[in-house]
Amino acid sequence: MEQYTLERFSADLATSKKFLSECDALLASSAPTDRERLNLRLLRAELETFVTGYEFKGFMFPLNFFEGMHIDFQRLCGWSSPATADEFRQLIGRYKKCSGQAAQVVDVLKAAVAEGRTLHKISLVMNALISY
């Protein structure tokens, strides 16, 4: 189960910057094939998006109408097709870890509110409006 903490996102930033440098070094070399060069450019674009967008702290908005652990939790069973007792135990084990991740999400939301960062209510209630 993914960790959802501010510390993890800070570590992700440092790792992304390191990977950007590695991508640049590989792209500057003559070794990559055309396909590898394309893959490196695509990876670099993803990393660059995260690094340049980090200052806006979008990760402090982990729940909205479209995505979040509340959506993933509903889909978790559908993402796997447990066929054996062991596979069901693994799925139940993942479900049990959801409470820990939920506590981390709550901590991030509290930090966001402390910084004055919140989503507009339409981002949170759109499903209710559509269903109505």
**What is the tens place of the pLDDT at every residue in 14-41?**
999 999 999 999 999 987 899 999 999 9
**What is the tens place of the pLDDT at every residue in 35-93?**
999 999 999 999 999 999 999 999 999 887 778 888 777 777 677 788 899 998 988 89
Q: What is the mean pLDDT of residues 101-112?
A: 94
- Residue identified by tokens 């004055």 is 116
**pTM for this predicted structure:** 0.78
Note the helical H segments in 54-116.
69-79, 85-114
Q: Check: CB of residue 117 under 8 Å from CB of residue 57.
A: yes
Name residues whose C-beta falls within 8 Å of residue 2's C-beta, 6 or more positions apart in sequence: 101
- Is the model more confident about 122 or about 46? 46
